[in-house]
Amino acid sequence: MPLAVELKDVSFAYPGGPPVLSGVDLAVRTGEFVTIAGPNGGGKTTLLRVALGLERPLSGEARLFGEPADSVPDRFRIGYLAQRSRLGIDAPATVSEVVAAGRVARRGLLKPFRRDDRAAIAAAIGRVGLAEQASAPIQRLSGGQQQRAYIAKALAGEPELLVLDEPTAGVDVDAQEAFGAFLGELHDALGVTILYVSHEFGAVERFVERVVLVRGGIVYDGPPADLPAHWHDPSHVHP
Amino acid sequence: MFILDADFMRIAFATGAVVGVLAPAVGFFLVQRQMSLIGDGIGHAAFAGVAAGYLLDVSPVGAALVAATLAAVSVELLRSRHRAAGDQALALIFYTGIAAGVVLVSAAGALNANLFSFLFGSILTVTWSDFVLVAVLGAVGLAVVAVLYRGLVAVALDEEGARVSGLPIGALNIALAVLAGVTIAVSMRIVGILLIAALMVLPVIAAGRIGTSIRSTIGLAMAIGLVSVVAGLTISYYANLAPGGAIVLLAAGIALVAVGGAPAITRLRSG
């Protein structure tokens, strides 16, 4: 089975800017739950964008599901949750409408939803425990429930790879813990590959199999239990 | 005389009904993308198109359609390729459009009452051929919104997520820009170039305070747009006012009432 995500000797810089990533090698196997952590400006979001084919590396190679990341077919196999501040609209949107938006790519832009699409949308809403709120405007839900609705949106396309970019930014510690536990349950139940990108990874440390620390390159890649104590605060300055 | 006895009023109501429904349907997606003011920029480009129509002795509406569509696509391309920030791209098109319009109008010697009918709308100058063009383009515009509805919603909710999952974001954004350009071009005879953007935005603001879902909000916005146009045309007929101003003032009044009444609506719903 091909790797879900693979980076080989990847270097990257934005036009006219200093190097953001250099010599990055990363292999994420199907079914793994991996957190990519590091300080702000360390390159973790850039690494994610290169891995997803949204940015082309200056050198090296990025592959998704064994295909070049920027031309991988069937991209609906990826479920993506952006930072909360970049989600949502001003108008009222029901939970069902938000979650259905995550199914469009799998069905095809111009094709109407069929029974199996509606079933997948309902299943995703049920999976996150919002079945009773399916017809409620998402703006009336709590912050945690809104986050679950967007997870359901990412799940509605029945993804093989679930990518979460700083999903707990601005969320208190208790909510982060609850979210981490929820992701752990989701990973166990669905067996989906999860890439969790976060400045803080304490909330998911008990549930992930690997921690990848990024500071211009990968400075640690291994199980959280083996993580040296001084790395637990990724914002700390290290030589 | 009964208002519908006049042939020009029947044309104005028929044309206005299409405009009243189409403008908020397209405007909904612009508002959600925080592009509420793009209609103004495209409107000024449409003004240059009208002026070019006079200068070249071709249909001002047809020339405005081309200019508005090109302007809308240019704003989107400048924005999406990071050649300019969204507001800078809009400013570039906005000022180029109005300056080109003034130069072309003066070159054509067309600074007359007919030009003002394009700027502020007129119920006297709309013809059956105008209505046919508006009806055809309006029907096509609404059909495109219906076909692309789910994709447009997905992009409005989460553009990055839609891009990652493989939706053709560039094509959807260009389609929305073309829809905006077409809407402005077909609406200017009734509402006027300077006010059409308001009909794309104000009903959406009002509906957003009342609706309970995306679908109900779009439906309400279209209904508010239709009511504003029909009532505005009626008032302008009896009071001899420019229809664009009457229509937009009504839409603005509805939006103000909806915004002001939103807390009460929320309390009523929560029991």
Domains and CATH numbers, chain B: 3-194 (1.10.3470.10)
Q: How far is CA A61 from each of CA A50, A96, B37, B60, B252, rounded to the nearest angstrom?
A: 9, 38, 42, 53, 54
- Tell me if B165 and A82 make a contact (CB, 8 A cut-off): no
The reply to whether residue B162 touches residue A104, judged by beta carbons under 8 angstroms, is yes
Selecting from A86, A92, A157 the residue whose C-beta is nearest the C-beta of B165 gives: A157
Predicted local distance difference test score (pLDDT) of residue A234: 52
Residues of chain B positioned with their CB less than 8 A from the CB of A104: 150-151, 154, 162, 165, 167
Share of chain B above pLDDT 70, in %: 97
Candidates B32, B158, B205, partner chain A, best to mutate (most A CBs within 10 A): B158
In the predicted structure, residue A238 carries a pLDDT above the cut 60: no
- Chain B residues closer than 8 Å to A87 by CB: 157-158, 161
Chain centroid to CA B173: 16
Question: Would an 8 Å CB–CB cutoff place A89 in contact with chain B?
Answer: yes
- What secondary structure letter does DSSP report for B31? H
β-strand A161-165 against A193-198: which pairing, if any?
parallel
- For A180-232, the pLDDT digits (tens) are 888 888 888 888 999 999 877 777 777 888 999 998 889 899 988 887 776 66
What pLDDT band is residue A239 in, cutting at 50, 70 and 90? very low
Q: Which residues pair with A78 in a beta bridge?
A: A161
Is A5-231 assigned to CATH 3.40.640.10?
no
Mean pLDDT of B34-40: 82
Q: What is the interface pTM, i.e. ipTM, of the complex?
A: 0.88
* A13 lies within 8 A of chain B by CB: no
CA distance A108 to chain B (A): 8
Interchain proximity A109–B213, CB inside 8 Å: no
| Residue A52 touches chain B, beta carbons under 8 Å | yes
With cut-offs at 50, 70 and 90, classify the pLDDT of residue B263: confident
Nearest CA in chain A to B157: A88
DSSP state of B195: T
For A83, A236, B29, B163, the CA distances from A104, given in Å and listed in that order, are 20, 42, 17, 12
| Alpha-carbon gap: A78 to the closest alpha carbon of chain B (Å) | 6
Whether A42 contacts chain B with CB within 8 A: no
Q: Shortest Cα distance from A228 to chain B (angstroms)?
A: 34
Chain A contact for B151 (CB, 8 A cutoff): yes
pLDDT band at B4 (very low <50, low <70, confident <90, very high): confident
On whether any CB of chain B is under 8 Å from the CB of A229, the answer is no
- The C-alpha of A180 sits at a distance from chain B's nearest C-alpha, in angstroms, of 21
Q: Is the pLDDT reported for residue A160 higher than 60?
A: yes
Q: How far is CA A144 from CA A98, A205, B104, B165, in A?
A: 15, 19, 57, 24
Residue A168 has pLDDT above 80, yes or no: no
Q: Which long-range contacts (CB under 8 A, 24 or more apart) does A117-125 make?
A: A120/A156, A120/A157, A120/A158, A121/A96, A121/A156, A124/A99, A124/A152, A124/A153, A124/A155, A124/A156, A125/A95, A125/A96, A125/A99, A125/A149, A125/A152
Matching residue, tokens 């809104």? A146
Judged by CB atoms closer than 8 Å, whether chains meet at B167 and A89 is answered as no
Of the candidates B176, B52, B36, B162, the one whose C-alpha atom is nearest the C-alpha of residue B105 is B52
> pTM for this one?
0.89
Q: What is the mean pLDDT of residues B101-121?
A: 81
pLDDT bin (cut points 50, 70, 90) of residue A85 is: low
Nearest alpha-carbon partner for B210 in B139, B264, B143:
B264
Q: Region B222-244: what's the mean pLDDT?
A: 93
Asked whether the beta carbons of residue B151 and residue A52 sit closer than 8 angstroms, the reply is no
Using CB atoms, pick whichever of A52, A75, A89 lies closest to residue B157. A89
pLDDT bucket at B124, cuts 50 / 70 / 90 = confident
CA distance A138 to chain B (A): 9
Q: For residue range A5-50, what is the model confidence (pLDDT) as tens digits?
A: 999 999 999 888 888 999 999 999 999 999 998 888 888 889 999 9
Q: Show which of residues 154-173 on chain B sit within 8 Å of chain A, judged by CB atoms.
A: 154, 156-158, 160-168, 172
Can you spell out the DSSP letters for B202-236? Answer: HHHHHHHHH-SSHHHHHHHHHHHHHHHHHHHHHHH
Query: Are A89 and B148 an interchain contact pair (Cβ–Cβ within 8 Å)?
Result: no
- Does residue A57 have a pLDDT over 50? yes
- CB-nearest partner of A90 from B31, B147, B150: B31
CB pairs under 8 A between A and B: 104
d(CA A26, CA B220): 50
Mean pLDDT over all residues of chain B? Answer: 89
Residues of B in contact with A118 (CB under 8 A): none
Most confidently modeled range among A131-135, B48-52, B70-74, B117-121: A131-135
Does residue B238 contact residue B40 with C-beta atoms inside 8 Å?
A: no
Q: How far apart are CA A84 and CA A69, in angstroms?
A: 25
Ranking A9-13, A127-131, B94-98, B170-174 by mean pLDDT, the lowest is B94-98
